[in-house]
Chain A
C-alpha cells in the first residue's frame, strides 16, 4: 500500500526491537504478554512497558516438540519454542511474563516456561456472568498489582490506573476506527494488510505514537474508501474471519482466502475485534478493568454466548458474504464451539459458514486452497 503511515506500521516490529534494547538499557521495565486477557493497564500504571510476545511462526515448533507433545495447538508450541530457542527479542527483554490459565495446554506449558523466565500466572475463571467469578478475577488482578509494585518498586495508585485506562481505551478506540474502515464497500485495505497492522502494533513501545500512526492510517483509508479505492476486486466476497488468534506467520488462511478471490473485511479474533470494547470507568478502576477483561468472548469461557452475538452482529455491520471459523489443530475449545456457532449463524442469519482446522505448517496448503476456493465459488454463485 502506498502510505507512509502503513509503511511505518509495517516495519514497526523490527524497529521496536532496537528501541526496546535502548529503553531497557536506560532502565525501562518490560512485561511480556501472550494473550488478550493480560491487563496491560496494570503494567502501564506500574510505569513498565507491556509488549506482545512471539508465537505465530512455525519455525521454533520442532524444537518445542522436544518438550511438548506433538498433538498440541501450534500457538502454544510456537510460543514455547520461541522462548526455549531464545529467538524472540521481546521475550528476552521482558522482566517477567504475565500469563493466564485460558486453556489446559497453555497453563501446563507455562509450568515449563517458568524454567526460562519468571511467569506470573493469572488464574482466569471460566464463566462470565457470575459475581463470584468477577470477584475471583478481581483478586487475581490484585495479586498482579502487588507483584508489579514489588518487582518494580512502584505504587500503583488509582490515579495512575485511571490514566492507564484512558490511554488504553484510546488505543482501543483507534483500533476500532481502523477496523471500521472496512465497513465500506469495497473495503479500502486487504485483510493481509489489516492483519499486519494489528499484529505489529502490539510490539510497539510508545503507545501514544502508535495510536497517532494508526489514526493517520485510518484517515487515509477513509479517504480511499470515499473514492471507492480497494486493493482487491470490488466484487470480492466479503469474509468475516472468526476463531483462534492469527498473526503474521500464522496468516496462512488469510493469505489463501485472498489468493482465492475473497477479501477478509473483519477479524473477530484476539488482536482485532475482540479487543475494541473500552474499560468502563467508575470509582473502582481495578474492578472496571476486571469487568472489561472478563467480558472477552473467548472460547475458554463456558458458556461463550457473547461470541455468537458478536459474530452475528459483525456479520451484519460489515455486510459479509461468508463466515470462516478458524480452529488451530488441537484447540479443543474453539473446535467444539464451532458446532454451536454454525448452528447459531444458521438460525440467526442466512450466511454460509465454513470451519477450517489447521496448524501453522504449509503441509495442507493445497487442501485448504480447495476448500477455500470452493467456498468462494459458493459465495459468488449465490
Chain B
C-alpha cells in the first residue's frame, strides 16, 4: 500500500501544501492565506488531493506547520516551522547545515546537524523588518508588483535605506522620493536593506560553506543575488523554496508512518 502523507504550512501570507507519496513529492499547492487560516488550510488540502486524484480517507497522516498550525482541525500532528523548514531544506539540499528562511512576517536562520535535525536557530525581532511584509509595503509605496520591484532593483544601484522598522522605512522611502531619487534606486535600496539584515543573524550561528535559502523571498532573483553578495557564501535555492516548510511537515509525517509500520 502507498504511504500517503500531507504537509500543510499555513504562513502569514501564503498557505502551502505538499502531497507526499512514499516519501516523494507528488503534488504541491500554494494560495494566499487571507484572513481565515483554517479555510486556507482546508482549501490547499482539498486541492492537492484533487490533483493527486485521491480521497481524504486515503491520506494516512496530516502534519500542520506555520502560524496557522494550531487552527487546522484535521491535523494529526503540529510541528513548528523551524523544525519543518530544517527537515524540508535537508531534503531539498542534502546535508545542508544552514538554512535562511525569509517568510511573510519573520526571517529565521536555522543550523542543522547535516541530517536534517535542528541544532540551533535565531529569528528576527518581533517586528516585520526585513521580511516579505516589508517588501510588500515598499512595493506598495512604489506602486510596483514584487516581480517588477525585483527586476528594477537588478538594473539600478541602491539608495540607502537605514530604518529597521517597516513603518519608519516607509516614511524614509517617501522622503527619498521627495528628494527625487529614482524608483530603481529605491527598489534596489529596499532589496539591499533586507539582504544586509540577514548576515547579522547568520553570524550568530555556526560557520558553514554554503547556505540554503527558502521561503517566499527566495523566489525573487534580485533578493537572491544581493543576499549572496552580502553573505559572501554560495547560496543554494532549491526548487519550490516557498514549500520547504510543507515538505518538511509531510516528511515528518512520512517518518512517523514508516516508524509505526
Residues of A within 8 A of B (CB): 352-353, 357, 363-364, 366-367, 370-371, 373-374, 377-378, 381-382
Contact = CB atoms under 8 A, between A and B. Distances in A.
A378 B84 CA distance: 11
Contacts of A370: 67, 80-82, 123
Contacts of B117: 378, 381-382
Contact of B79 (A352, A353, A377): A377
B152 interface: no
Interface string B62-88: 000001000000000001111100000
B67 A366 contact: yes
Interface of B: 67, 79-83, 106, 117-121, 123, 125-126
Contacts of B126: 363-364, 367
Given A363-B126, A378-B82, A378-B120, 8 more contacts: A352-B120, A353-B120, A364-B126, A370-B67, A374-B82, A377-B79, A377-B80, A377-B82
Contacts of B119: 352, 378
A46 B73 CA distance: 62
A352 to B, nearest CB: 7
Contacts of B79: 377
Contacts of A381: 83, 117-118
User: Which one of B67, B80, B120 has the highest number of Cβ atoms from chain A below 10 Å of its Cβ?
Assistant: B80
A366 B12 CA distance: 12
A128 to B, nearest CB: 28
A210 B79 CA distance: 43
Contacts of A364: 126
A377 B123 CA distance: 16
A366 B119 CA distance: 22
B118 A377 contact: yes
Contacts of B106: 367
Contacts of A382: 117
Contacts of A377: 79-80, 82-83, 118
Nearest to A378: B118
B120 A374 contact: no
A34 to B, nearest CB: 27
User: Which one of B106, B117, B118 has the highest number of Cβ atoms from chain A below 10 Å of its Cβ?
Assistant: B118
Interchain residue pairs A-B with the least CB separation, the first 7: A374-B82, A374-B80, A377-B83, A364-B126, A378-B118, A373-B80, A367-B126
Contacts of A374: 80-83, 118, 121
A358 to B, nearest CB: 8
29 contacts: A352-B119, A352-B120, A353-B120, A357-B125, A363-B126, A364-B126, A366-B67, A367-B106, A367-B126, A370-B80, A370-B81, A370-B123, A371-B82, A371-B123, A373-B80, A374-B81, A374-B82, A374-B121, A377-B79, A377-B80, A377-B82, A377-B83, A377-B118, A378-B82, A378-B119, A378-B120, A378-B121, A381-B117, A381-B118
